[in-house]
A and B are shown apart, each in its own frame.
Chain A
Amino acid sequence: MSKRIVTIAVGAALAFTVQAAQADTLEDVKEKGYVQCGVTEGVPGFSNPDENNEWSGIEADYCMALAAAIFDDTSAVRYRPLTSTERFTALSSGEVDVLARTTTWTMSRDTQLGINFTGTYYYDGQGFMVRAADGITSALELSGAAVCIESGTTTELNAADYFETNGMDYNPVVFVQQDEVVKAYQDGRCDVYTTDSSAIAAERSKFADPSEHIILPEIISKEPLGPSVRQGDDTWLNINRWTLFAMINAEELGVTSENVDEMLGSDNPSIKRLLGVEGDFGTPMGLDKDWAYRIIKAVGNYGESYDRHIGPDTAIGLERGLNALWTKGGILYAPPIR
């Protein structure tokens, strides 16, 4: 008798899980009324809370752009700071709807973790920071150095590759939390702090005296940073992908948050399609016709977001470099909206 109970219960369990498998993130998000966005624990320029716990940065902008496209309300975002070791589990378990947390797009992550990267919002590379007083000018002089690293990152692997390739020794000092990595470097535990060069610049901007630290010229890896979503929900993947593309296309077409209302009357068919004046590109992915107009109106185009948070005029001071549009010497290239 109890054997039959087991069979029935196992069958019920299976049925239950199969039912749960039909997840529709857009429906969930609309029902909740906000986008749950996985971000860093605080990297200035990317995602960083101010004293009022208002998040800002290009990743926060991305989250707000999603909220604008779905709800026409940039405040419909809830931020969830994640350590680098928690982030993928948080995404795949459904704790966050999208991960926009300075995460490098790699093949193993894209194919083995049950997540999909939707694009690249910052082309980065790994760099090294040392104390100016040490008199180091090249990463090739770092043999024997103690290196502070954040656990569970591509940084950890790249550093191992780099020191091995160049026949150098090093002592990796690995911490779970990013602020401890920086603190240990500042306290003198390490000679070197290594991570994506944009994050190094961001962290250095927080130091008491940034000029005491120099960033070495070597860039030792490709680090395309992009948002990622769970596999198996193509609608949500499309929304994420095209939110970023809309911001990049807007910059290319010269549409900004300030002139977007004038641009509604533009004769340029590309702008008409972007802003939903001609054709309807929102409905097929479950959004409204003016989804991109809302993004640009509320958040701005990619260039505006970049200049506001990490551009040359900010404390972080990163040149556009690779992240300029393809028409301006960079590699930023979004597929057309048509």
Chain B
Amino acid sequence: MATQDVAPRRESPKTSFFNDPKVRGLLYQVIVIAALVVFVAFIWQNTLANLAKQNKTTGFDFLWDTSGFDVLFSLIPYDRSSYYYQALLVGLLNTGLVAVIGIVLATMLGFFVGVARLSNNWLVARLATIYIELFRNIPLLLQLFFWYFAVLKSMPGVKQSYAFFEAAFLNQRGFYVPAPLPSENFWIVVLSVVIAIGAVFYLRRRARIHLEATGNRMPVVLPAIGILIVLPALAWLLSGATLDWDLPQLKGFNYQGGLTLPPEFLALVFGLTIYTSAFIAEVVRAGINSVSHGQTEAAQSLGLKDGDRLRLVIIPQAMRVIIPPLTSQYLNLTKNSSLAAFIGFPELVSVFMGTTLNQTGRAIEVVAITMLIYLTLSLGTSAFMNWYNERVRLVER
């Protein structure tokens, strides 16, 4: 323990003990740590004693009990005879799905709006300003309710669904799209796509090395498109793999077959994307504004093309400013997805802290697990963004 670090020094004479700033500093730290330990131990004991007093069953063994409830939307097979830990997994995956899709969409929309706000076009810049101020300043929960209940009301009933080419259908129950049914050897085609993408990256790298070595540009775009089309097409033809589609069909109450995106999911992704993109737009604007005009002029005087000037000079410097606050926005989006419980989308909080907590009564265990998961998700996102930040950081020479 930390106390042992100090113990040997206590043998020295009293005066020097109190007057030695090093020892004193150490002593203060030990006191702080000891106070913290006492505090945590107090909370821990208090919790245990109180739980015992309330005659509650405690422990994590419930995770291996049958859950007994169903969920609306799951990425893994799940039914009422599944276990609670599987319910946890269903919620976690749904949260992850919403977070990933939301982050990608919000980033794209946010960059677009942020750049639009800096546009020289009066109308475009004003529209972007209105968008940002409107969505940034209305509480997210209200926006989610709006998207869910307002949009739900305006959708047609099942029998009057909007049909898109008789393959996809949109109604109050969700968006029904065909599900792919790949044949067994379809993985060859998927593999060829992966190889093609790898080849394109290799090509790009070679082109850059060539440019830096000789100052001449190699054609990249056309060969890349060629590789991306020809390789998978060849693989498809040669392997004889097939890809069928499972079309949604109206049966009884509803469309069956295909993939279903429930309106809760659509409303949640929509609401989170729009809300977060308004913040990201401001972050992007701040980043671009932070690069002084002198940099543009310097790049121009070097004779860089417009595209290269943005890509090589402006954006790398803007990213330094953009990334740290962008990380916070990503974390916010992930955590905000927990509001889904109010519009009925079965993500982590809804499935685990809602239904599971209630059916098992293990409040402390369930809340602790949920907090730990959000903490892990957030720290993971942070770690990734820090790594990325390190990469795009201005290298000082």
User: Is B a genuine binding partner of A?
Assistant: yes
Contact in complex: B173, A157 (CB < 8 Å): no
Contact in complex: A152, B358 (CB < 8 Å): yes
20 interchain pairs, CB-CB under 8 A? A10-B38, A10-B45, A13-B46, A18-B49, A108-B359, A111-B57, A114-B54, A153-B358, A157-B68, A171-B262, A173-B72, A173-B344, A174-B71, A175-B343, A176-B341, A176-B342, A187-B149, A187-B152, A188-B152, A188-B153
Instruction: Give the B-binding residues of A (Cβ under 8 A).
Output: 1-3, 5-6, 9-10, 13-14, 16-18, 20-21, 84-85, 88-89, 92, 108-109, 111-114, 142-146, 151-153, 156-157, 159-161, 163-164, 170-177, 180, 183-184, 187-189, 191, 230-232
Q: A92 CA to B364 CA in the complex, in Å? A: 12
Q: Shortest CB–CB separation between residue B359 and chain A, in angstroms? A: 7
Contact in complex: A173, B354 (CB < 8 Å): no
Contact in complex: A144, B253 (CB < 8 Å): yes
Partner of B34, one of A2, A21, A188: A2
Q: A2-B30, A157-B68, A173-B72 are in contact. Are A188 and B344 (CB under 8 A)?
A: no
Q: Apart from A6-B41, A10-B42, A113-B361, what are 8 other A-B pairs with CB-CB below 8 Å?
A: A2-B34, A9-B41, A17-B53, A85-B358, A92-B56, A114-B54, A151-B350, A173-B344
Partner of B53, one of A21, A113, A152: A21
Q: A6-B38, A21-B53, A230-B54 are in contact. Are A1 and B3 (CB under 8 A)?
A: yes
Partner of B361, one of A88, A143, A180, A230: A88
Contact in complex: B56, A17 (CB < 8 Å): no
Contact residue range for chain B? 35 or more
Q: A175 CA to B344 CA in the complex, in Å? A: 5
Residue B372 at the chain A interface, CB threshold 8 Å: no
Residue B282 at the chain A interface, CB threshold 8 Å: no
Q: Which residues of B contact A111 (CB under 8 A)?
A: 57
Q: A89-B363, A92-B54, A113-B56 are in contact. Are A161 and B355 (CB under 8 A)?
A: no
Contact in complex: B38, A160 (CB < 8 Å): no
CB-CB nearest in chain A for B34 = A2
Q: Which residues of A contact B79 (CB under 8 A)?
A: 160, 164
Contact in complex: B355, A17 (CB < 8 Å): no
- Chain B residues 269 to 315 lying within 8 A of chain A, measured CB to CB, are none
Q: Shortest CB–CB separation between residue A324 and chain B, in angstroms? A: 32
CB-based closest 9 A-B pairs: A152-B358, A17-B49, A114-B54, A160-B80, A2-B34, A113-B361, A114-B56, A13-B42, A9-B38
Q: A146-B254, A176-B341 are in contact. Are A88 and B72 (CB under 8 A)?
A: no
Q: A143 CA to B251 CA in the complex, in Å? A: 10
Residue B263 at the chain A interface, CB threshold 8 Å: yes
